[in-house]
Amino acid sequence: MKQLELNVYLAGEIHTDWRKQIINKSEDMGLNIVFTSPVTDHEASDLCGIRILGEEEKPFWRDRKGADINAIRRLKMIKDAELVVVKFGDEYKQWNAAFDAGYASALNKSLIILHDEKYDHALKEVDAAANATARTPEQVVEILKYVLL
């Protein structure tokens, strides 16, 4: 049988190296996965709108220009993915991560939510829409490995 391939979008937190861990371990195991991610350079992501399309005085519209451009990439990747992994960390509000989880869920994508136990109650609706709540990148990789058995 032809080897199964999986398309996985890694959404959410951009300030730790969890994506690299998942990608590296998956490659070490030879898993046949296409990984995609948002632009994880915080400044590049925040400023892409005004850098390309021109400055805005109001922060609100600066953010809008950037968010709209990032959406081209984000929504393409979610649509292409069969599985979306969403990581919730300790910093920031991370509403964009939860938004992506909701978006992916409505499109019937499989979901793995990655977070510490302390957020279990706050993430109960998000976890309930998911196939797994993982605590570590290793667990995510173990799931990927099993799914591609």
According to CB under 8 A, which residues from 84 to 143 bind a second copy?
A: 88, 92-108, 110, 117, 119-135, 139, 142-143
At 122 the three-state DSSP class reads: coil
Based on CB atoms, which residue is closest to a second copy, 16 or 68? Answer: 68
**Quick one: tokens of 37?**
């991610």
Cβ 111 to a second copy shortest distance, Å: 9
CB-based burial label for 45 (10 Å; 0-12, 13-18, 19+): middle
Q: Which of 14, 18, 65, 87 binds a second copy (CB under 8 A)?
A: 65
Q: Does 15 bind a second copy (CB under 8 A)?
A: no
| C-alpha angle 16-27-25 in degrees, rounded to nearest 5 | 45
- Chain centroid to CA 74: how far? 9
Cβ 138 to a second copy shortest distance, Å: 9
Site string for a second copy, 18-57 (x = CB under 8 A): -----x----------xxxx-x-x--x---xx-xxx---x
Count of residues in contact with a second copy, rule CB under 8 A: 82
Residue with tokens 């296409």: 34
